[in-house]
Structure 1
């Protein structure tokens, strides 16, 4: 099993990691290699109701499918926290992040969900990684691709805001990598109780942002 071969090289056991959040995916453009995201427990606590909160270190690994050998590694202490805002999923994104003719990035999407009904919350962040100088390098850190939050009386009255972002590769380059063109759509919703009815009012705002590579990361 590929995961066990990699854990052995890292000196980790299955009990050391959050297996529910563990992710792996074969690279579609390099099918002899698999991306693995290994969330290692740094701290874990349980409250009186049995709910868990925890901090996780992140191992991002590129491994050889046939041998299980770690080819490239990225490590970050205290990368993620799950508490009242729950870390709900980690997904490997192998979209067409072609930064130049020679360099294609892969992404990791990390999603969070709030546990409060009166104040709903959800968010998904994207990080991009490339292979550089025999290791994995993160070139985009936790960019928010979607965000939804609001406050309501759990009957009708309330206000909500949701944002969705789409990333395109720009034709222009900075420091050898294409600029990222990010199109964001934000929807504002207001619910108003009127007699026996609940009236919904919506408005939409669209913006475009540019992120440029400064030689270390996209900013």
Structure 2
């Protein structure tokens, strides 16, 4: 479940309670800013545990900046069902910057990221976009975290799992590309953690002509497999796999 602002969270929660409904899943921590995000999700790998994440926006204090330019502080928590105090936490100040490219979505990924025989990671996906039709930039990045006692530690930082961009003249002429990546657990390992196999596929589209004569020419690349290896601290990302800076 996702909450975009404190007002939305209150409306959703209060409405459900007034209707006598029972929530089947977790309730995100309330947030107050219209640019803030709060999400939570049950962690199937560890029954009884729930993951919560929030990204709180801070406007840049620099004179002349528009209201939407700023940074996000990011917090992660793992809770035991029925408990209010988190079992483990993670905090990153200025985790994301919003300057032309904005944070559009924050989600939790509880796929089977089994890194050792008894350790599973969970993912956080962040989508960023500039909302432009003529020069679009749209990217989703994936980070993986593991629990170590009372701490949550990132082991994969901001792998780009989807990307879209290009240029368009507003009529027909355009060049666009779309990249998609999937992550699988390999049978091999490095420094005690399973290697990750990333499959990348790219689609390129060129549009030319005018009016009804506008034609698309699309080419799809063959899938490429890349192995990410753990170096003892984190998985090393090759050039081109990293998120927008």
TM-score range, shorter chain: 0.7 to 0.9
Aligned to 2:70: 54
Shift of 1:106: 0.2
For 1:84, the equivalent position in structure 2 comes to 100
The question of whether the paired residues in 2 share the 8 Å contact of 1:27 and 1:33 is answered with yes
In structure 1, the partner of 2:242 is: none
> Which contiguous aligned blocks of 4+ residues in structure 1 show a shift greater than 3 angstroms?
12-15, 17-20
How far residue 79 of structure 1 moved from its aligned partner, in angstroms, is 0.3
8 Å contact 1:86–1:114 — kept in the other structure?
yes
- Larger strand fraction of residues: 1
Map residues 27-176 of structure 1 onto 2, 5 A cutoff.
27-43=43-59, 52-176=68-192
Query: What is the distance in 2 between the residues matched to 1:36 and 1:159?
Result: 39
Whether the 8 Å contact between 1:18 and 1:39 is mirrored in structure 2 is no
CA drift at 1:20: 4.9
Contact 1:18 1:40 in 2 (8 A): no
Relative distance call for 1:13 and 1:186 in structure 2 (3 A) is closer
RMSD value, Cα: 2.5
**Corresponding residue for residue 7 of structure 1:** none
Q: Does 1:215 align with 2:241?
A: no
Are the structure 2 counterparts of residues 83 and 155 from structure 1 closer, same or farther at C-alpha, using a change threshold of 3 Å?
A: same
Gaps of 5+ in 2: 7-28, 237-245
1:115 Cα deviation after fit: 2.4
Matched positions, count: 207
Cα distance in 1 for partners of 2:183, 2:55 equals 26
Q: Normalising by structure 1, what TM-score? A: 0.86
Gaps of 5+ in 1: 5-11
TM-score, structure 2 normalization: 0.77
